[in-house]
Structure 1
Amino acid sequence: MNKAINIGINEKSREEIGQGLSRLLADTYTLYLQTHNFHWNVTGPFFQQLHVLFEEHYTELATAVDEIAERIRALGILAPGTYQEFAKLSSIEEVTGNISAEEMIGRLVDSHETVVRTAREVLTIAQDADDESSASLVGDRLVVHEKTAWMLRSHLQS
């Protein structure tokens, strides 16, 4: 027996919000992978500090990925969950090869700011549909990514 979803948000709006959240999920997961990669491969005089910092960041992102995916499911939409789907949906540029710690930090600033831009788009969609639950989740993500970008950017200033 399939029970229809009746949470006060029409199907079209749930689809639009779900698509937006799917893009946010893809960006967040791609950023998680990027941060984990940098955690493993960072070198240089600030190795210990950055290794620990990147671990804190990817741990927070792992929790966020789950929260975003669960919200998508609560809207009755199938959450993307494969590399292929994430690659199609994500706006974050992949990083390959060996780069310096400073380049890693710069790339992470860019990636967090990309997530912020995606989140702002989704926030508008959720607000237009009076979806306070999605808007609240996205608003919380904005705070995290804006603050993280600022803190990382501070490492690059002399």
Structure 2
Amino acid sequence: MSKKEKNNNAIGLDKDKTKELAERLNILLANYQLFYQNARGFHWNIKGLKFFELHVKFEEVYTDSLLKIDEIAERIRTLGYIPLHSFSNYLKNSTIKEITDVSDGLEAVEEILNGFKVLLEKERVILDLSADANDEGTNSLMSDYISQQEKLVWMYSAYLAK
């Protein structure tokens, strides 16, 4: 076994590079957990004339986030590391902060956009790192997330007439 092979993980990627990727993915996971919980709160607490349409939209956001949370955690495991799994760790590692008591639809949509901005920034960093590590699995995941979220940013921005 060559020295290079000894420094590879079970899926053939460099352990040093995947360690950094796993750390970044854990930070992304923490941010998704807060984003998810905020969207749930908006879904439950929204009021006003746009209640019916926003109630459905926020459910779409948190349902999609829940799927991504699982994918990110499973990717961390695939790379050979342990995903964060306590809310105290999520709070400590997330740039997105918990948002409480928002019932105004426009304010909630603005917060969704702020959350997407944070997620996109972190996903782009991971995209670059995964390309450098020759990690197509993580790269593909981030590429998909970015293209989906860029479209949602456009749509939510249009809703706010930005």
Q: Give the TM bin, normalised by the shorter chain.
A: over 0.9
- Contact 1:15 1:77 (8 Å CA) reproduced: yes
Moved over 6 A (4+): none
Q: Are 2:134 and 1:138 equivalent residues in the alignment? A: no
Match of residue 151, structure 1, among 150, 155, 158: 155
Q: Deviations over 1:114-154 (max 9, x none)?
A: 10001011111111111111110111111122122221111
Q: Are 2:116 and 1:119 equivalent residues in the alignment? A: no
Letter in 1 for 2:116: H
Query: How far is 1:28 from its partner?
Result: 1.3
- Match in the other structure for 1:31: 35
- Match in the other structure for 2:57: 53
Q: Are 2:98 and 1:94 equivalent residues in the alignment? A: yes
**Unaligned 5+ runs, structure 1:** none
- Contact 1:113 1:146 (8 Å CA) reproduced: no
- Match in the other structure for 1:18: 22
Aligned mates of 1:157, 1:74 — CA distance in 2: 41
Aligned mates of 1:73, 1:115 — CA distance in 2: 20
Root mean square deviation, CA, Å: 1.4
Sequence identity of aligned pairs in percent? Answer: 34
**Unaligned 5+ runs, structure 2:** 1-7
- Match in the other structure for 1:74: 78
Aligned mates of 2:148, 2:29 — CA distance in 1: 15
Larger deviation, residues 91-100 vs 29-38:
91-100
Pairs aligned (count): 155
**What TM-score comes out, normalization by structure 1 length?**
0.93
Aligned mates of 2:15, 2:9 — CA distance in 1: 8
Q: Deviations over 1:36-89 (max 9, x none)?
A: 110000000000000011111111111111011000000010000111111122
**What TM-score comes out, normalization by structure 2 length?**
0.90
Query: How far is 1:99 from its partner?
Result: 4.4
- Contact 2:24 2:126 (8 Å CA) reproduced: yes
